Amino acid sequence: MGTLLTVDELRPLPIFAKLGDDQLAQLLEAGEAVATEPGTELFTEGLPAEQWWVLVEGAIALSRRVGQREEVVARMDVPGRWAGGFRAWDDHGTYLATGRVVEPGRVLRVPSESLRALTDEWFPLGGHLITGVFHTARSIDATARQHGALVTLGTLAAGLAHELNNPAAAATRSVDEVQVLAGQVLDSLRDLAVAGITADQYTALDALRTDLRPPATPLSALDHADLEQELGLWLSGRDVADPWRLASALVPAGADAAWCARVADVVGPGAALTPAFAWVARTAQVGLVLREAGEAVRRISTLVNAVRSYSQVDRAATQDVDLVDGIESTLVVLGHKLRDGVTVVRDYADDVPKIAAYPGELNQVWTNLVDNAVDAMEGAGTLTITTRLDGDHVVVAVADTGPGIAPEVAARVFEAFFTTKDVGKGTGLGLDIAQRIVVERHLGTIEVDSGPRGRGTVMRVRLPVRRPD
């Protein structure tokens, strides 16, 4: 601790009026005195409030970011005034302003963890009350700021929590599916053993499994259905159990009738045929589900980084982005909403170049537009995604075959916090934020085109290939 600060110097401060000398000594032991010089930044707005700062002498200016400017909003120049320490009672507490020294002096700095321990020891009820106040204040502040011009960290966190729901749910479902499929793989192996398959046969079967390659380009819905029909009939004709379910799993893995014939040549027409196909099918499904889980986890990381970039504009950097990659990633993450009843039509122009953009933020926009379109169709219809080069801009259109949007609703879709969805539904990323990402961050435009009711809705995003400085 040194000699920079003593109990006698703390005792006159109003904030410590009710503390005894032993308590003041404990406080000094838990913290440390810091000599301050003008221009020194003690704490930064938005960062975790992991330290409690008590002014002993001198002066500190408190400033906040307002748009692109930093403005002084308050001044700590009376001994005993304090700032920070919020993580003593709120795990998400951040500094509400940036503190810079304007007059030399001293402060007492105490870690939030130590502050909480001391308050719990001296006044347990007070600790509970303060925690409750913080939680209540956070809730009230989040509601009040919906009507303000500033987007706070709490609002961004809430939006992120909603938007993370899709990839997090996808990862959870994938884990559950893998557990089921792993049991089925083991059952198939047991059945192969019971059927008397030899080591050489198993080795040959495994080689055939590794020969499978998913189609380089996704099959059309018609081609996929035709191939499933062909495999289902082939399997059924050879008395393979559950032929249609196996066919639906083998087609995405790249199997065809010729490959199935090779399997039959290896294991023979006997009892081993059903578990052989079941083992390959389930193993292929495990790989597919694990890839989906990996994509979901990567998307979570991308979303977190994108929101961090959005909240710290000056630290973000543009990249050369392939828009189709981001759109396809979004379709994978939202795949659970597209499997039943939704036909996805991809109309990607070959001449669309990479553009200078913030990829994570654009992925948020695609997620919102696709999710809105699927919800508008109530899970059944055609989702058409189009990319086109238009001069020095790229246009991305997301169209649905839903009932369309009423004019009075279309006029408000870009208003902050306006939504037509029930609580708990959607991505949590309103079209107002999507508009900010497109317009303010990428200098593009976003518009809604909804004709007469029943015609569907088209959302068009127009982005410059190269953003001007």
Closest-CA residue to 271 (of 209, 197, 200): 197
Q: 24-38, 75-89, 447-461: lowest mean pLDDT where? A: 447-461
- Tell me, yes or no, whether 455 lies in a domain: yes
Q: How far apart are the first and last CA of the chain?
A: 51
For residues 290 and 461, the model is more confident at 461
**Domain CATH for 405:** 3.30.565.10
Q: What is the pLDDT at residue 426?
A: 43
Q: Are 202 and 273 found together in one domain?
A: yes
Q: Which domain holds residue 202?
A: 165-289
- Tell me, yes or no, whether 302 lies in a domain: no
Average pLDDT of the segment spanning 167-173 = 82
- Tell me, yes or no, whether 102 lies in a domain: yes
pLDDT tier at 60, thresholds 50, 70, 90? very high
The number of domains in the chain is 3
Q: Are 323 and 460 found together in one domain?
A: yes
Q: Are 250 and 190 found together in one domain?
A: yes
Q: What is the pLDDT at residue 156?
A: 41
Q: Are 169 and 142 found together in one domain?
A: no
Q: Are 110 and 212 found together in one domain?
A: no
Q: What is the pLDDT at residue 113?
A: 92
Q: Are 123 and 180 found together in one domain?
A: no
Q: Are 449 and 387 found together in one domain?
A: yes
- Tell me, yes or no, whether 358 lies in a domain: yes
Q: Are 259 and 366 found together in one domain?
A: no
179-205 pLDDT per residue, tens: 888 888 888 888 888 888 889 888 988
- Tell me, yes or no, whether 187 lies in a domain: yes
What are the DSSP calls for 164-184, one per residue? THHHHHHHHHHHHHHHHHHHH
Flag whether pLDDT at 232 surpasses 90: no
- Tell me, yes or no, whether 309 lies in a domain: no
Q: What percent of the chain has pLDDT over 70?
A: 82
Q: Are 143 and 236 found together in one domain?
A: no
21-40 pLDDT per residue, tens: 999 999 999 999 999 999 99
pLDDT tier at 148, thresholds 50, 70, 90? very low
Q: Which two tokens stand for residue 210?
A: 């590794």
**Domain CATH for 103:** 2.60.120.10
Q: What is the pLDDT at residue 430?
A: 65
Q: Are 56 and 172 found together in one domain?
A: no
Closest-CA residue to 397 (of 366, 376, 419): 366
Flag whether pLDDT at 158 surpasses 60: no
- Tell me, yes or no, whether 304 lies in a domain: no
Q: Are 284 and 346 found together in one domain?
A: no
Spatial separation of the C-alpha atoms in residues 421 and 58, rounded to whole Å: 52
